[in-house]
Structure 1
Amino acid sequence: MKYTSEIIVDVPRTVFIEKLDNPENMVHWQRGLVKYKPLSSNPGEEGAQMELHYKMGKRELVMIETILKRNLPDEMHATYDAKGVHNIQHNYFEIVSPTQTRWRSESEFQFSGFFMKFMAFLMPGAFKKQSMKYLRDFKAFAEEGKKVSNS
């Protein structure tokens, strides 16, 4: 399953990247993120891995992020692996104006196992909706300092 999500954030690209590239900010705009742990000695660089722990309702999810390409401020690509799901993210950051940044995120989900394939077939909109939620939550955090967490 492939799709593209896009949003314009009303902050200069330098501010956008500063907020997006700080792992300590993730908890403020990624709902359900409980903790993260770098698995590599070169956090944030190409090839680096990070373990992400999410709690969604009663369900807990552990995901491994691997940075594929880091060409900031223009683009950053990564994969996210969890049980039954391999997600490839290509993220592009474009200057719209001196005070606006466009974030275009191209998502590709690959599923293994009957249950995950079945869920993707039944509810492809849920994946798109979740991606847009993260973009909107980041926009609110970057523009207004609005946090999805209590921290």
Structure 2
Amino acid sequence: MSFKTPDLCDDFENDASAELRVVDPLFRTYGGRPAFAGQIATLKLFEDNSLVREALGEDGQGKVLVVDGGGSLRCALVGDQLAALAVKNGWAGIVVYGCIRDTPDMAAMDLGLRALNTHPKKSVKKGAGDRNQPVTFGGVTFVPGQWLYADQDGIVVAAKPLA
């Protein structure tokens, strides 16, 4: 899949059926895949990555996992082991509204990864959180089943496949 987010914005800005939304530029780029796209799967949790492991352990072909971690900067929600699991199961990418860790290892992995920042501390594991519900951050609501496109210029979300 080849795309550029600026071109998507230009080409679909007047297409009401696309429902194109641009995510606020809050995220840093990590991972070895600078551009990625796929159908959205969501998690809503806070400082507990149990559901992240569960989701990334499933088939992720053609999908991007969007993790609403409440914007916490107090621990990491994804590390090298979970990123390796995502690669093994074919996930295109992960967007974390929170922190990640083990970034030097993840930079070599074929995985798109965006996060607010890094943090060396791991999260708790209590199994708390919700799956596959709309989540909102960065000025955008991410709806499971819709589409996310990310590259060096930013992240856009659309109601339908664009590229």
**TM tier, smaller:** under 0.3
Choose 1 or 2 for highest CA Rg. 1
The structure where helix makes up a greater share of residues is: 1
Normalised by the length of structure 2, the TM-score is 0.25
The structure where strand makes up a greater share of residues is: 1
